[in-house]
Amino acid sequence: MYLDEVNANKRSFLFTIQRGKLRADQIKNGYRLWDEISGKRLLLIAISLVLITHGVIIYFTLPRTYDAFVHMFFADHYARFWFEPWEYRWYTGFLTISYPPLVHQSIALLGKLFPLKVAFSIYSVFAIEIFIIGIYRFSKIFFEKTTAGVAAILAVVLTSVVETLHVFGQVPTLTGLGFLLNALPFLYQYIVKRKPIYLLMALCLGSVVLCSHHVTAIFGMVFFIAPTIFMALTDGLSKDSHNRNYIVFIWSIIKAAFARYREILLFVGLMILLAIVLIFPYWYWSSTDPITQVSIPHGSRDNFFEEFSSGLVFYIIPLTLIFAFIPAITYAFIRQRRFFLWAVSFFLCLLLGSGGTTPLPKMMLGENAFNILTLDRFGFWASIIAIPFMARFIYSFLAGPVKEFWQKNFGSRSHFVLSGLSGFSYLIFVVFIFHLGSFRPLQPKEVDILPIQNFLNRDDHMRWRYLTLGFGDQMAWLSANSLAASVDGNYHSARRLPELTSRPVERLENAKFSGMEGLASLNDFLTRSEKYSLKYVFSNDRYYDPLLYYTGWNRTRRLENGIIVWEKGNISTIQPLKPTEISPVLKYAWGILPLSSLGIAFLLTIVYLRRFKDEDYFASVPPVDQYYPLGVIYTTAFLPLIFSSFFMCWQVYELLLVKEQRDPVTTVIHYYNHLDFQRFDVAFRFFKPSPTYTLDQYLLEKSVNDGGLLPSYAKLDSISVIEVSRQKDSSKVEVYTRWNTSIGHLENRETTQLIYENGKWFILPPVRIPQIPEEQVRSHTYTLFKKQGKRVISSFPTVKDDRIKKPFASFKQANFVRHGSQNFLVGELLNADNIPINLALKVKVRYRQGEVRNYFPTTAFQYNIAPKGSSFFQIDLEDTEVMDSLQIAAVELYAETDVSERGYIHGGTPGYAIIDMSDEEEVLIKIKFHNELTTDINIPGVLIAEKDDAGAIWQARLHVHPTAIRSGFRVEFESSFEKIQHKAQIMTTFPLRVYINHKQREVGPLQLDEVAIRNMGIAILPHCFISDEIYLH
Amino acid sequence: MNTFPDLLKLLPALYLMMILSSCSNDAAERPLPTSEITRLSIPLENISFQASGREWEAVLFTFIQPLSLEVIYTNSGFYVSQKDDLGVVEGPGRICLKSGNSHFYYEVLLDNRDVGVTTAKDYRSPKTVNVDSSLSHQRIAFILDEWSNVVDPGGSLHFFEEQEIILTSRVGVYRTKVKTPLSAYYIQPGSCTSVPLHYEFRPKANIYKVMAGPLQDQYGNMVGEGTMVAFVYDDGQYTNQMEVMSQNGYATIEVSSSGSTVYSLFAKVNETFSSTIQLQPW
Determine the distance in angstroms separating the CA of B6 from the nearest CA of chain A, rounded to an integer. 13
Q: Are residues B213 and B253 in the same domain?
A: yes
Q: Which residue of B has its CA nearest to A913?
A: B238
Q: Tell me the average pLDDT across A540-564.
A: 91
Nearest chain A alpha carbon to B236 = A913
User: 0.90 exceeded by the pTM?
Assistant: no
Q: Which of the two residues, A64 and A306, has the higher pLDDT score? A: A306
Answer whether residue B18 is part of any domain. Answer: no
> Is residue A806 predicted with pLDDT exceeding 60?
yes
Let me know if A388 is exposed, middle or buried by CB neighbors in 10 A (0-12, 13-18, 19+): buried
State the best of A868, A902, A997 to mutate against chain B, taking most chain B CBs within 10 Å: A868
Same-domain pairing of B176 and B242: no
pLDDT band of A337, cuts 50, 70, 90: confident
Q: Which of A648, A669, A694 is the last residue of a domain?
A: A648
Pair A469, A610 in one domain: no
- Whether residue A777 is contained in a domain is answered as no
Rounded to an integer, the average pLDDT of A749-757 is 91
Distance from CA of B246 to the nearest CA of A (A): 8
Q: Under DSSP, is residue B74 helix (H, G, I), strand (E, B) or coil?
A: coil
Same-domain status, A136 and A242: yes
- A871 & A943 share domain: yes
Pairwise CB contact (< 8 Å): B245 & A783: yes
Output phi, psi for A779, to 5 deg: -130, 150
Can you give the pLDDT at residue A771? 73
For A84-88, A619-623, B107-111, which range has the lowest pLDDT when averaged over its residues? Answer: A619-623
Give me the pLDDT at residue B182, please. 82
Residue A836 in contact with partner chain B when CB distance is under 8 A:
yes
Residue of chain B minimizing CA distance to A611: B2
Q: How many Cβ atoms are within 10 Å of B7's Cβ, its own excluded?
A: 11
Which has more confidence, A439 or A916? A916
pLDDT on residue A1032: 46
| Residue A454, pLDDT score | 94
Q: Which of B192, B241, B269 shows the shortest C-beta gap to A1020?
A: B241
Q: Residues 64-93, chain B: which have Cβ within 8 Å of A?
A: none
- Tell me: do B146 and B106 sit in the same domain: no
User: Are B95 and B125 members of one domain?
Assistant: no
Residue B254 CB contacts under 8 Å (≥ 6 apart), including other chains: A932, B205, B207, B208, B209, B210
Are the C-beta atoms of residues A875 and A551 closer than 8 Å to each other?
A: no
Q: What pLDDT does B162 receive?
A: 92
Residues of B whose CB is below 8 A from A970: none
- Check residues A656 and A553 and name the one with the higher pLDDT: A553
* Partners of residue B254 in chain A, C-beta under 8 Å: 932
Q: Is residue B23 less than 8 Å (CB to CB) from chain A?
A: no
Q: Is the domain of B132 the same as that of B159?
A: yes
* Contacting residues of B for A830, CB less than 8 Å apart: 270
Q: Which of B223, B234, B270 sits opposite A830 (nearest CB)?
A: B270
Domains identified in chain A, total number: 4
A911 closest CB neighbour out of B4, B238, B246 = B238
Is B239–A836 a contact, with Cβ atoms under 8 angstroms apart? Answer: no
A436-445, A486-495, A542-551, A895-904: least confident range: A436-445
**Per-residue model confidence (pLDDT) at position B17:** 65
Q: What integer pLDDT is reported at residue B10 of this predicted model?
A: 63
pLDDT of residue A626: 72
Domain that holds residue B85: 31-112
Which residues on B lie below 8 Å from A805 (Cβ)?
126-128
* Per-residue pLDDT at B6: 59
Between A655 and A641, where is the model more confident? A641
**Mean pLDDT in residue range B41-67:** 89
Q: Give domain status of residue A608, yes or no.
A: yes
CB contact under 8 A, B226 and A1020: no
Closest to A771 measured CA to CA, from A893, A957, A590, A931: A931
Look at residue A588 in the predicted model and tell me its pLDDT: 93
**Is residue A782 a part of any domain in this protein?**
no
Are residue A734 and residue A878 in the same domain, yes or no? Answer: no
Q: Which residues of A touch B234 (CB under 8 A)?
A: 1014
Mutate to test the interface with A, among B4, B233, B245, B266 (most CBs of A within 10 A): B245
Smallest CA–CA distance, residue B127 to chain A, in Å, is 8
Q: Is A837 in a helix, a strand, or coil?
A: strand
Q: Are residue B258 and residue B205 in the same domain, yes or no?
A: yes
Instruction: Give yes or no for A355 touching B (CB within 8 A).
Output: no
**Which pLDDT tens digit goes with each residue over B163-176?**
999 999 999 999 88
Q: How confident is the model at residue A569 (pLDDT cuts 50, 70, 90)?
A: confident
Query: Across-strand partners of A572?
Result: none
Q: Does A631 share its domain with A669?
A: no
Each residue's pLDDT tens digit, A313-327: 899 889 989 999 999
- As a whole number of angstroms, the distance between CA A421 and CA B269 comes to 82
A841 and A705 both lie in a single domain: no
Helix or strand or coil: residue B179? coil
Residue of B nearest to A903 (CA): B226
Which residue, of B86, B112, B138, is where some domain finishes? B112
My answer on whether A676 and A546 are in the same domain is: no
Domain membership of residue B61 (yes or no) is yes
If asked whether residues A224 and A274 sit together in one domain, one would say: yes
A769 in Cβ contact with A962 (< 8 Å): no
Query: Does B86 fall in a domain?
Result: yes
Altogether, the residues listed in chain B come to a count of: 282
- Band (B15; pLDDT cuts 50, 70, 90): low
From chain B, pick out residues whose CB is under 8 angstroms from the CB of A803: 127
Chain-chain contact of B225 with A781 (C-beta, under 8 angstroms): no
- Measure CB to CB from residue A867 to each of B228, B239, B241 and give the nearest one: B228
Residue A17, domain member (yes or no)? no
Q: Does A999 touch chain B (CB under 8 A)?
A: no
3-state helix, strand, coil in chain A (%, to 5): 50, 20, 30
Res. A867: pLDDT tops 50: yes
* Residues of chain A positioned with their CB less than 8 A from the CB of B176: none
Please choose, from the candidates A894, A771, A897, the residue with its C-alpha nearest in 3D space to the C-alpha of residue A835: A897
- Statement to judge: residues B155 and B216 lie in one domain: no
Query: What residue in B sits closest to A870 (Cα-Cα)?
Result: B270
Rounded to the nearest 5°, which phi and psi values hold at A520?
A: -65, -40
Once rounded to an integer, what is the mean pLDDT over residues B134-163?
89
Q: Strand A465-469 and strand A485-486: pairing? A: parallel
Interface test with B, best of A803, A834, A870, A923 (most B CBs within 10 A): A834
Is residue A608 domain-shared with residue A666, that is, in the same domain? no
For A868, the closest of B4, B239, B269 (CB atoms) is B269
Q: What contacts A46, CB < 8 A, 6 or more positions away?
A: A132, A136, A149, A152, A153, A155, A156
Helix axes A340-352, A226-235, angle to 10 degrees: 160
CA distance A655 to A674: 14
Contact B226 A785 (CB under 8 A): yes
Respond yes or no on whether the N-terminal peptide bond of residue B126 is cis (omega within 30° of 0): yes
Cβ within 8 Å, pair A834-B181: no
Contacts of A785 in chain B (CB under 8 A): 226
A144 and A233 assigned to the same domain: yes
Instruction: Answer whether residue A39 shows pLDDT above 50.
Output: yes
* Separation in Å, CA of B44 to nearest CA in chain A: 31
Residue A595 pLDDT: 93
Yes or no, beta carbons of B238 and A835 under 8 Å apart:
no
Q: Domain range for residue A666?
A: 659-763
Q: What is the CATH number of the domain that holds B70?
A: 2.60.40
**Are B201 and B271 members of one domain?**
yes
Please answer yes or no on whether A1014 and B128 come within 8 Å at the CB atom: no
Mean pLDDT along residues B43-69: 89
Kindly report, residue by residue over A118-142, the tens digit of the pLDDT.
999 999 999 999 999 999 999 999 9
A733: helix, coil or strand? Answer: strand
A4 pLDDT more than 50:
no
Q: How many residues does chain A have?
A: 1033
Number of H helices, E strands in chain B: 1, 23
Is residue A107 one of the residues assigned to a domain? yes
Query: Quick one: A629 and A756 in the same domain?
Result: no
Cβ–Cβ gap B241/A1022 under 8 Å = yes
**Are B238 and A928 within 8 A, CB to CB?**
yes
| Residue at which a domain ends, from B64, B80, B112 | B112
Strand partners, A977: A923
- Please report whether residue B25 resides in a domain: no
Residue A843: inside a domain, yes or no?
Answer: yes
B103 plus B123 within the same structural domain: no
A903 close contact with B: CB closer than 8 A: yes
Burial class (CB in 10 A: 0-12, 13-18, 19+), B246: buried
Which residues of chain A have a CB within 8 Å of the CB of B232?
Answer: 1011
Q: Answer whether A607 touches B (CB < 8 Å).
A: yes
Decide if A783 and B225 are in contact by the 8 Å CB cutoff: yes
pLDDT of residue A891: 96
Domain membership of residue B143 (yes or no) is yes
Q: Is residue A1 part of a domain?
A: no
- The nearest CA of chain A is from the CA of B151 a distance in Å of 21
- State the nearest Cα–Cα gap between B134 and chain A, in angstroms: 15
Q: What is the distance between the alpha carbons of residues A895 and A830, in angstroms, rounded to a whole number?
A: 11
Residue B5 has pLDDT above 70, yes or no: no
Instruction: Please check whether residue A778 lies inside any domain of the structure.
Output: no
Whether residue B43 is contained in a domain is answered as yes
Instruction: Tell me how many domains chain B contains.
Output: 3
Question: What percent of chain A has pLDDT above 90?
Answer: 51
pLDDT beyond 80 at A942: yes
Q: Residue A710's domain is classified under what CATH number?
A: 3.10.450.50
Residues 6 or more apart whose Cβ sits within 8 Å of residue A545: A539, A713, A742, A1025, A1027
> Does A600 lie at the interface with B, CB-CB under 8 angstroms?
no
Choose one of B112, B147, B164: the last residue of a domain.
Answer: B112
